[in-house]
Amino acid sequence: MYSIGQLSKATGVKVPTIRYYEQVGVLASAGRTDGNQRRYDQDGVERLGFIKHARDLGFSIEAITALIDLQQHPDRSCADASAIAKHQLADVQEKLRRLSALEAELIRISDGCDGDGVSGQCYVLASLADHKHCRTDH
Amino acid sequence: MYSIGQLSKATGVKVPTIRYYEQVGVLASAGRTDGNQRRYDQDGVERLGFIKHARDLGFSIEAITALIDLQQHPDRSCADASAIAKHQLADVQEKLRRLSALEAELIRISDGCDGDGVSGQCYVLASLADHKHCRTDH
DNA sequence: CTTGAACCTCTAGTGACTAGAGGTTGTAGA
DNA sequence: TCTACAACCTCTAGTCACTAGAGGTTCAAG
Ligand SMILES: [Zn+2]
Ligand SMILES: [Zn+2]
Ligand SMILES: [Zn+2]
Ligand SMILES: [Zn+2]
């Protein structure tokens, strides 16, 4: 049996975050001692490990809740799991596209100013003031 | 003179967002009619355009506030503007690095499941349950 | 002068936590 | 067995950049 602090150390998830996960329902409520403190078993460690790993990969709490639900029913179709993963991938790829465009503009903007001028002539400020300086949409 | 709705159309920033920008101090308070409605001049359009463009490039409100402050003093050094832009670039590049790692893992995970199996054997769920399947840190 | 779209302020909600106040419990050492 | 104190508990509020809604007022066209 683990206390919440021991679970925290075992998984790398902070104590208040564990309580938050319980509050929003992605982590099942733990058993309690007579004094009302949470106690976790190995199952709890694995459940929280799953949540942490999925969060690290960018899945939303809502998506993770659905995935854990699926995991509790090993005989159900995994179509939803597949869809959630593909959706998450598409999401990440969209963010990558947007960030790449931003990176290109920011490199141009950064390169245009050494910081040794005066703000009236600053390329950073001029570029932000007018999108026409930009090479891409964004 | 523009009403807040006309300013919204001119810049593509939603009306409640404009009020929010004023509230947090990044957009200077507008003049008012006798009936207390906001009125903007060309200067206001440019100020908000600057904010929108910087937000589109991912700058924080705090950073934009500093940049606008600098823009109001054309004779000051632009060292801060340069530093803010470089910081933002570094930020974006860090996000790109992280997202690229996530993309690689998510492609692997997605490719490992067609959604036509059962969740007890699902590669998506197995991969989320155990980071050992992963090729990268993340 | 009437109508109604657009405006006003204020509060609360979003996601995924994080911080702090104020009080209680578990446990190791004396 | 007692005591000290780290770790636990709940609850509220704050973060960021908005967004939604309630309930009331103003502007401008017809
Ligand atoms: Zn400069
Ligand atoms: Zn641009
Ligand atoms: Zn599957
Ligand atoms: Zn992993």
A22-CA/C28-C1' distance, Å: 30
Q: Once rounded to an integer, what is the mean pLDDT over residues B100-123?
A: 97
Q: What is the pLDDT of residues A39-98, one digit of tens each?
A: 999 999 999 999 999 999 999 999 999 999 999 999 999 999 999 999 999 999 999 999
What was the pLDDT predicted at A136? Answer: 93
C-alpha B5/C-alpha B15 separation (Å) is: 6
For residue A58, the tally of other CB atoms under 10 A from its CB is: 19
Asked if A77's CB is within 8 angstroms of B118's CB, the reply is yes
Cβ contacts of B80 within 8 Å, gap of 6 or more: A115, B66, B70
% of chain A residues with pLDDT over 90? 99
State residue A70's pLDDT score: 97
pLDDT reported for residue B113: 96
- Tens of pLDDT, residue by residue over A96-126, are 999 999 999 999 999 999 999 999 999 999 9
Distance B128 CA to ligand 4 centre (A): 7
Chain B residue closest in CA terms to A81? B124
B123 pLDDT tier (thresholds 50, 70, 90)? very high
Both structure tokens of A87? 């959706």
Instruction: Tell me how crowded residue B70 is: count the other CB atoms within 10 A of its CB.
Output: 21
Radius of gyration of chain B (CA): 23
Res. A20 pLDDT band, cuts 50 70 90:
very high
B105-121: average pLDDT: 97
Q: Given this model, what pLDDT does residue A79 score?
A: 97
- Spatial neighbors of B25 by CB under 8 A, at least 6 apart, are B65
Please tell me the predicted confidence (pLDDT) of residue B55. 98
Could you say which ligand is closest to the alpha carbon of residue A126?
1
Mean pLDDT throughout B45-51?
98
Pairwise CA distance, residues B56 & B44, whole Å: 18
pLDDT for res A81: 98
From CA B84, how far away is CA B62, in angstroms rounded?
10
**Contact, B113 vs B73, CB < 8 A?**
no
Give Cα separations from A17 to A4, A5, A30, A48, A64 (angstroms).
Answer: 10, 11, 14, 11, 15
